[in-house]
Structure 1
């Protein structure tokens, strides 16, 4: 990407989009195009078409999405499927029609089969059934990845798809209903510490394994791939190791300073048994994540205290 290129970050207020904006500015990209949801509803086809026709961005980071944890996905699968399909179809289609040089679509590791061999390689996509608890979201993400792939094949576009693991960090969603696991646990443990609770209850058995990546590392990797990756094949990005939810909970408990006990509720779903990405392809390109899980959680907790907790007290 040229330093003065017109770069549109779709979803710039979200955790991933805002991190990409910060990283772009750090690297000297200052001609950024940003629109809030109030300014541009990407599920609105006519509005999205008008935006691309008038603004003509040269590069697009498509991070806008409806996201949430297990509870939110189970409660609203139709919403997760519909809204994500509409966003990605509109942005990808009009990026092609109005001459975007390159687009990066942000996928998700939940696209891989529920009982996928570990670590999950790119070629394992669509080799088995999805995890039922997030099937709507996964279907939408696979559609976006395939839409990029088919546009490249049919029209010669340069649309790439990136598959990250579970992401966390500054800007995360700490809503108790719709948050992902690290944000949810930080909030739970901090409230329990503040209110002197005897225990914290966590969904599932604690045995599920997950790979977690700090959002600033994802942003750095996304920009790296935009500048160094041309293949139509989707590519994994991650840290190369995972952790059980039980050990993650113990780690966050210690960082927050909660002294009570942890109780797991096995009547609630675990989700996929394991999600560890094979990162051989991106490693071969020379890119590697820099932030350890402990350091990343400490930075996220610090951000939570400064930006979220003060408004909840």
Structure 2
């Protein structure tokens, strides 16, 4: 008799990380039939508005998940956050409260929520680690989004206490195991299916789209020089993680990570680089694709740099997975640019 598949509900399933999980799951299922113990359901805004409890409940009633990977959020780049902090706070508070409440009501075995390094205090020491989340206010530029995400960690601990105090009501499948509500904290994610919209995008997709437009403009003008404009000084530093690497780590978390405390999913500290260095990698990749055009990088310091650095320690992750191999930035940017050019007509812009 075949074992019944466990249902994994992925909120925000059409986004960058959701699509990466889909790609890795399909790859693993093709490689081995033993990887078919889970049925992944990817939901997005077209399935319902998770900030509205009744719509969120309909999704849970339809699929009755055993696991939840909670990626859904109102997101945007630096300049959209600066403009809409209130909306980011209220909408994300509602989404997270609804998803975790329903995960409890439907006796989900594990709920993994996705946080962000922007939740950490603005004034802090580096590297930041999982113990430092609540030690001061986040950067003012995106305090709405940051505080809403921080509250997931508070909710996880509150639900954990609730399960322990009402253990007879929440044991999973008749075992002694209580549900686990936990969270992951990735550093800056990039990859296929990213949002390349110049108003809403994060650093890497924004650079890729601007570089692409610059190349097309140069070709129209029969020029051999394309100008890549970078907002800000280019000096702020970030750790970037390729979305398919993050997807693999999230699937590992679902099966193996049982702590309530969050875990940072990041490349090593030594892999941190500046925005200017990332722009150079993007420019060099386009120059290899269009050998007749030279990319010229310009920095517009009239734009805010945002937080200068958010260096994160991945020591906790390395204790679990010391040998995990991350995709290099050069390879990840190359593959993301190839995906963007191939899928230009359907990419989010």
1:16 aligned onto 2:43: no
Cα offset, 1:200, TM superposition: 2.7
Q: Is the 8 A contact 2:197 2:348 kept in 1?
A: no
Counterpart pick for 2:158 among 150, 175, 186: 150
Greater than 4 Å deviation, 4+ residue runs:
309-313
Segments of 5+ residues of structure 1 without an aligned counterpart are none
1:262 aligned onto 2:261: no
For the structure 1 residues 284 and 85, does the alpha-carbon distance in structure 2 shift closer, same or farther, using more than 3 Å as the test? same
Instruction: Give a deviation string over 1:129-166, Cα, whole Å, max 9, x none.
Output: 21111111111110122212221122243011000000
Counterpart pick for 2:206 among 184, 187, 191: 184
1:285 aligned onto 2:320: yes
Q: Is the 8 A contact 1:237 1:277 kept in 2?
A: no
The equivalences for 1:121-136 within 5 A come to: 121-136=129-144
For the structure 1 residues 53 and 3, does the alpha-carbon distance in structure 2 shift closer, same or farther, using more than 3 Å as the test? closer
Question: Hey, what does 1:140 align to over in structure 2?
Answer: 148
Q: Is the 8 A contact 1:115 1:272 kept in 2?
A: no
**Which sits farther off after the overlay, 157-166 or 147-156?**
147-156
Question: Hey, what does 1:272 align to over in structure 2?
Answer: 307
The aligned length equals 312
Instruction: Give a deviation string over 1:41-85, Cα, whole Å, max 9, x none.
Output: 111101212332443210010011111110111121122112211
- 1-side partners of 2:23 and 2:295: how far apart? 37
1:302 aligned onto 2:334: no
Question: Hey, what does 1:244 align to over in structure 2?
Answer: 274
Instruction: Give a deviation string over 1:233-284, Cα, whole Å, max 9, x none.
Output: 1110101121011111111111112524222122211111112210011110
- 2-side partners of 1:280 and 1:109: how far apart? 15
TM-score, scaled to structure 2: 0.84
**Which sits farther off after the overlay, 44-53 or 186-195?**
44-53
Q: Work out which of the two has the higher radius of gyration on C-alpha atoms and give 1 or 2.
A: 2
RMSD: 2.0
Cα offset, 1:309, TM superposition: 5.5
1:105 aligned onto 2:133: no
Q: Is the 8 A contact 2:284 2:295 kept in 1?
A: no
TM-score, scaled to structure 1: 0.94
Counterpart pick for 1:175 among 190, 197, 200: 197
For the structure 1 residues 311 and 178, does the alpha-carbon distance in structure 2 shift closer, same or farther, using more than 3 Å as the test? closer
For the structure 1 residues 268 and 19, does the alpha-carbon distance in structure 2 shift closer, same or farther, using more than 3 Å as the test? same
Question: Hey, what does 1:80 align to over in structure 2?
Answer: 88
Segments of 5+ residues of structure 2 without an aligned counterpart are 29-34, 165-178, 219-224, 288-292
